[in-house]
C-alpha cells in the first residue's frame, strides 16, 4: 500500500486531505502532531492518546540519544514499546538541537523550556574545534556543549553526563533506526536567525549534501537488512529568510529520493508574517504526491492559515506548553474566528484572578472528560498551586480541541470551503 495518497484537493486553495499509512497505523491529513520530546507527550498518560484522537506524535532524537540512549531503546523494542506510544511516530534528526546549542552553556540548558532554544545573537556558528575532544568528563558550568562542527557532522557533550556524542548524517539515521519512529527527518543544519545570505547559502548546501548521505544510508542493503519495518525518510527545506535560497532548496528536496518533504527553520525567531512568507515561497514547489510536514509550527491561527498552502502535518509543543501556563482553548472562540476570519483570540488565561471563584465549565462548548467534571476555579487552583494534575487536565483539553479543529478542517477541505 502506498505511503501517502491524496483523497481530495480543494477547488479553492492548495489545501488537500489525504492518508499516510505506516506500520503503526494510518493518519488522516491534515493532522496536528503533538510533540513527545522524550518519549512522552508532557502530562498525558499514554492510555489517553487514542482517546484524544491523536494520530501521530513527534519524538526528539537528540534528547533520546542523550537519555536513555539509542541502544536502550533498541533493546526495549523501539520507542513505541518503551513509552507505550501505540500510534505512528515521527523523529527529528537532532540537527535543530545540536545547532541551537552551538554557543550555549550548560548552565542555561538544564530546564526543559531552555533546551533547544535558539541563540538569536547575530553570530555565525564556527566550523572548528571549540574545546578539546578527549574523553567523557564532568562538564564545567560555563562550557559550551558543542565541541566540534565540521562538514562531516557535529560532536557534542551530553548535558546529562558530559559524554561525547557524534551526530553525522549516517549516525543520525542509525540513531533513528534504533529509536524506531515510522517517519525520520534527514540530518540538517537549522540556520540560526537572523543569518546572513552567505551563511544561509553555506548552511543550505551543507544540509543538501547531508541529505544525499542520509538517502544513501537508508537505501543501502545494510539498512534494509537491519530494519524491522519500513521507516520513511523526509528531506528538509532550509534557506533562512531568503527567497532565492528557499526556492532553490525546495526544488532540490522535492526532486530527491525521499518519501516526504519537511519545511524547517521557519520557527526560530521570525515574526508570523516572515514565517508565512517563507512558506508561500516554497508552496509552488511542494510535491503533489508526497506528504509535506511543517516543523515547529502549531498555533491555531497558523495551522488554519497554512493548510491552504498544502501542508499535511504540523508538529509543535504549543498546545501543551500554553496549557501548563494556564491558557485554555475555547471552542466557541475558534468557531467565532471562522466567522470573523480572526483567530487571534482562541483561549482564556485561567490563571487570572477573576477565575478563582468561577464555577462554570472550563469550556462551555466542550464535552470532554475535563470540561464535564471540572470548573475554571478548580483549574485556576491547581495551576496556581503547581499541582501536577492541573498540567495534565489542561493539556488533555487543549489537545482534544486541536484534534477537533483538525477534524473540522478536513471536513471543510473535502467540502471545498477552504
Which residues are known to be catalytic?
92, 315
Best CA proximity match to 253, nearest among 312, 217, 205, 196: 205
Determine the Cα–Cα distance for residues 227 and 88; give it in Å rounded to an integer.
16
Strand-pair partners of 26: 21
Which residues does 163 contact at the CB level (< 8 Å), separation at least 6? 136, 157
Task: Give me Rg for the CA atoms of the chain.
Answer: 21
Amino acid at each position: 500500500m502506498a505511503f501517502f495518497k491524496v483523497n481530495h484537493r480543494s477547488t479553492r486553495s492548495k489545501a488537500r486531505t489525504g492518508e499516510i499509512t505506516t506500520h503503526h497505523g494510518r493518519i488522516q491529513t491534515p493532522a496536528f502532531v503533538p510533540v513527545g520530546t522524550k518519549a512522552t507527550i508532557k502530562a498525558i498518560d499514554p492510555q489517553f492518546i487514542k482517546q484524544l484522537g491523536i494520530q501521530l506524535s513527534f519524538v526528539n532524537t537528540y534528547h533520546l540519544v542523550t537519555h536513555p540512549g539509542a541502544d536502550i531503546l533498541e533493546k526495549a523494542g523501539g520507542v513505541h514499546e518503551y513509552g507505550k506510544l501505540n500510534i505512528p511516530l515521527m523523529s527529528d534528526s537532532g540537527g535543530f538541537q545540536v545547532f541551537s546549542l552551538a554557543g550555549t552553556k550548560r548552565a542555561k540548558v538544564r530546564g526543559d523550556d531552555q533546551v533547544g532554544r535558539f541563540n538569536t545573537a547575530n553570530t555565525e556558528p564556527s566550523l572548528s574545534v571549540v574545546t578539546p575532544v578527549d574523553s567523557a568528563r564532568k562538564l564545567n558550568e560555563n562550557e559550551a556543549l558543542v565541541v566540534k562542527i565540521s562538514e562531516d557532522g557535529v560532536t557534542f557533550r551530553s548535558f546529562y553526563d558530559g559524554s561525547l556524542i557524534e551526530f553525522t548524517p549516517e549516525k543520525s539515521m542509525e540513531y533513528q533506526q534504533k529509536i524506531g519512529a515510522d517517519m525520520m527527518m534527514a540530518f540538517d543544519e537549522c540556520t540560526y536567525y537572523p543569518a546572513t545570505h552567505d551563511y544561509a547559502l553555506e548552511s543550505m548546501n551543507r544540509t543538501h549534501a547531508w541529505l544525499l548521505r542520509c538517502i544513501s544510508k537508508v537505501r543501502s542493503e545494510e539498512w534494509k537488512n537491519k530494519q524491522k519495518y519500513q521507516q520513511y525518510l523526509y528531506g528538509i527545506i532550509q534557506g533562512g529568510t531568503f527567497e532565492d535560497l528557499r526556492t532553490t532548496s525546495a526544488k532540490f528536496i522535492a526532486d530527491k529520493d525521499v518519501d516526504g518533504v519537511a519545511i524547517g527553520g521557519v520557527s526560530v525567531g521570525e515574526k508570523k508574517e516572515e514565517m508565512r512568507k517563507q512558506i508561500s515561497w516554497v508552496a509552488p514547489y511542494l510535491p503533489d504526491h508526497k506528504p509535506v510536514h511543517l516543523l515547529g509550527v502549531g498555533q491555531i491561527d497558523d495551522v488554519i492559515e497554512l493548510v491552504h498552502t498544502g501542508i499535511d502535518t504540523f508538529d509543535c509543543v504549543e498546545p501543551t506548553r500554553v496549557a501548563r501556563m494556564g491558557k485554555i482553548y475555547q471552542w466557541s472562540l475558534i468557531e467565532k474566528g471562522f466567522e470573523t476570519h480572526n483567530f487571534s483570540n482562541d483561549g482564556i488565561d485561567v490563571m487570572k484572578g477573576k477565575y478563582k471563584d468561577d464555577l462554570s465549565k472550563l469550556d462551555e462548548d466542550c464535552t470532554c472528560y475535563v470540561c464535564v467534571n471540572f470548573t475554571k476555579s478548580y483549574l485556576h487552583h491547581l495551576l496556581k498551586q503547581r499541582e501536577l494534575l492541573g498540567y495534565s487536565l489542561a493539556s488533555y483539553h487543549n489537545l482534544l480541541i486541536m484534534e477537533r479543529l483538525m477534524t473540522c478542517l478536513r471536513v471543510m477541505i473535502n467540502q471545498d470551503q477552504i
